[in-house]
Structure 1
């Protein structure tokens, strides 16, 4: 390093050191009274939520998300995010590929190791990829039990019901996962290490109010600088795509249940029947009433049997009621449920659209393709699916870390070593690119190319007009809205000699551009 560079770094380092020293002294002057005076002690209340977002226990949060996960609209949205993130090979269906880095290609030994890792783990990872990604999107965490053998590496990965997120509690030191506890009842709790369990942790984008934050606030040491001395605490719930959609889901479910209940009530055909028993003896009245009740009961049973058997009634049914003088049976008005307003399908669709938006996609992507018609045009599908693609990118990032975790466990058992971060000879890739993002990228590139071609045409026209460099610079800055540095760079084209055969007509008063004779064309 040159002497002047060393001097520069020394001056910068000295200034930075003095800055942190002064900041440390200033921080010591802050006292608790001043913090409370500015209402600085309400942070725990904020973490516990307020209003409709109150703190809940871990069990309550997961019960809510498990119920939402079983809904047709919600599960379709989650599957859409997962399939958008993972894709799949056209023939093999593989979605995860363990490939070599450019530096590894130059090292035969490392290349052989990466080939072995890919051959051993790729089939296992592709088998569990969809399940792990789906659970991560639904619950914010996803787990895989690792079965490994010394000298062999990872032999199997288990991701089924025994390691579902609601029954696995990860523990962290700071933000680093250090272990797990699997709950199967009060008297059945198993502890697992990071070598026995892999965790897919989705980014915590929204805070989920939960009661455990109080316990963590009393135990965590915020003043401790050494991460190794931080206490081991249970990880908080979060990262799920469903949290921000809870209210919209409740509203949609309420409106849907109201619509269905309204249809059921309207389907009930109930009326009152009056029987005139005048001039009948007591015995005749009983026998006549029993006959009427039996007749109506048989009609009801006959209709129920037809519905149950799925066979329509292909005959006309007639009932004979003998009477004298006056009519013995009088039909009254049907009993109808009076309501001030009806629930329509538009009420359900409104909340369904809000729910789809909260889940990060559009309702037209969840089986309602007729909603896509209109002003979106031919590219409407990609504009809509690009919203879902953003969450798919988050899934890919979390799944990549999950795969790296498993590979580290594999290399530890097979080769007796773990590659440090930043020096791993492999990289985790997914099949192809996310289609919607690829379409958006291509559209952006096409627009940029068209804009660049237009800019080239403008500069060419200005040069053919024999405009001066200052004129071109001002024109690009004022009219084309380019940065000054860009405009000066592009204006250097006037300093280059024109191509052979071009005509350059001098501008009056501009002596910096001498006239050039056009090339002679032979007859």
Structure 2
């Protein structure tokens, strides 16, 4: 028998599947796929053109139209307040210094003096910059899905400034990606309307792409990007598609809210116009009398119009009394003719219509309407802690913003260390970590509530077990009760039911019989006690 046959298998081979076997079972079967397979089983024709969604409300749009829509939505007070709330919840802020971002040492590197000093230098150089740009970068990124910062650095200071103003807003910057890595940018804010920057000159805040936005350009991208290529360096550099914005799902509610507000405001303006048609009986009057009567009536109406215009221009009501004298000959009459019946609207636009679309808009942004100026909605249903219940919806969106900000700041730190120290840390070997002050209050409140509920449930189980034991229940009865009535899992109920066989609290130690101390039926007496005897 050879020595190889005597060699025992490694512990890892007993727990895992060999590479060749895994490939044979999972990779090799794909060789049977052919172009005919797509049609043989009724799969039909698939095309990347389906991403354009040419039918329906969400059709493909060009880049500038999408950004133009979001720029208009950004100015809406409800949307602006909701985004500000999300960004504020994500960043927090120190209660005294007001700092938003903290560069801290990882626990495993705190004992290393050199790395600790290295992190301290990075904090001193970059923390003021990060605190200055954190809020506007996060706000712009939440609106457009991307946000950019122009990096200024040199060999002596590293990164010493970040430009985040209007000239680097997302509509003016096109990011380019190789696979999922951002490697370059083009700007249209230069003399030639084209400027090329690399990752050492520009940093990108990129929100997670959780939903595809139909847009033109995907067909051209499909013509060059070949997903069958395994070598990432061979994948061409292509423009990044628009995505990640928190406003995309809110587009339709925003349009409906704008229409409702326009309708209710227009209704008020129309109702403010008070018009009547007058009919004058001029029978048996001379031509001169007719002209004088009509002229007097015209002057009265024009005077009323001028008084109303003056009141609007001055912003003050007219406190003077206005009286007109209208001569009447014999039975001559001035008759007011009302508008014909049925010509007006049959139903008014109410505030409920506006509130419905406002709630839908706030919900699409992940923020409850009660948190952005409509606190009266909370009355009569949620009770104490109602604000935490509604604001808990903010937590998930805020964590997305934090994750994107962490990548953004690590990007800038890498450029800083590369420029100043000539090196870049691997992501897993970075001695620093990006932290934010505290955590989201609503999320913490939910954690505390969950912990309290769990403790209360545990105490109820203990009380029930104590009562069962006092009633003389054995292990089987207690296990059945905990499983059927208290709805515990059987292993847990079996473990807890052992207390039925314990000696209780009166000096027997609470051990099951098999775990009682063995000393001839007596407990071991400490040495001090023996000497005292």
After TM superposition, the score normalised by the length of structure 2 is 0.88
Q: Which residue of 1 aligns with 2:111?
A: 106
Structure 2 vs 1, CA of residues 409 and 458 (structure 1 numbering), >3 Å: closer, same or farther?
Answer: same
- 8 Å Cα contact 2:94-2:437 kept in structure 1: yes
Q: Which residue of 1 aligns with 2:417?
A: 411
Of 155, 174, 179, 1:174 maps to 179
Structure 2 vs 1, CA of residues 181 and 358 (structure 1 numbering), >3 Å: closer, same or farther?
Answer: same
**1:468 to partner: Cα distance:** 5.4
Q: Which residue of 1 aligns with 2:34?
A: 31
Question: RMSD in angstroms over aligned alpha carbons?
Answer: 3.0
Q: Is 1:384 equivalent to 2:390 in the alignment?
A: yes
Q: Which residue of 2 aligns with 1:17?
A: 20
Q: Is 1:442 equivalent to 2:448 in the alignment?
A: yes
Q: Which residue of 2 aligns with 1:521?
A: none
Q: Which residue of 1 aligns with 2:526?
A: none
Q: Which residue of 2 aligns with 1:365?
A: 371
Q: Which residue of 1 aligns with 2:229?
A: 224
Q: Which whole-Å CA distance do the structure 2 matches of 1:488 and 1:43 have between them?
A: 57
Q: How does 1:38-77 map to 2 (within 5 A)?
A: 38-39=42-43, 41-49=45-53, 50-77=55-82
Q: Which residue of 1 aligns with 2:4?
A: none
- 8 Å Cα contact 1:65-1:138 kept in structure 2: yes
- 8 Å Cα contact 2:282-2:332 kept in structure 1: no
Q: Which residue of 2 aligns with 1:501?
A: 507
Q: How does 1:90-169 map to 2 (within 5 A)?
A: 90-169=95-174
Structure 2 vs 1, CA of residues 496 and 314 (structure 1 numbering), >3 Å: closer, same or farther?
Answer: same
Q: Deviations over 1:317-373 (max 9, x none)?
A: 112233422436433225785112221111111111111111112111121111101
**1:35 to partner: Cα distance:** 1.6
**1:385 to partner: Cα distance:** 0.5
Structure 2 vs 1, CA of residues 185 and 320 (structure 1 numbering), >3 Å: closer, same or farther?
Answer: farther
**1:21 to partner: Cα distance:** 3.4
Structure 2 vs 1, CA of residues 168 and 335 (structure 1 numbering), >3 Å: closer, same or farther?
Answer: farther
**More deviation, 303-312/455-464:** 455-464
Structure 2 vs 1, CA of residues 147 and 511 (structure 1 numbering), >3 Å: closer, same or farther?
Answer: closer
Q: Which whole-Å CA distance do the structure 1 matches of 2:387 and 2:52 have between them?
A: 40
**1:384 to partner: Cα distance:** 0.6
Q: Deviations over 1:159-211 (max 9, x none)?
A: 11111112211111111111111224995021111111111111111111111
**1:245 to partner: Cα distance:** 1.4
- 8 Å Cα contact 1:125-1:403 kept in structure 2: yes
Structure 2 portions without partners, runs of 5+:
1-6, 523-533
Q: Which residue of 2 aligns with 1:520?
A: none
Q: Which whole-Å CA distance do the structure 2 matches of 1:41 and 1:423 have between them?
A: 47
Q: Which whole-Å CA distance do the structure 2 matches of 1:503 and 1:33 have between them?
A: 75
**1:4 to partner: Cα distance:** 5.5
Of 229, 237, 241, 2:242 maps to 237
- 8 Å Cα contact 1:144-1:159 kept in structure 2: yes
Q: Which residue of 2 aligns with 1:401?
A: 407
Structure 1 portions without partners, runs of 5+:
518-523
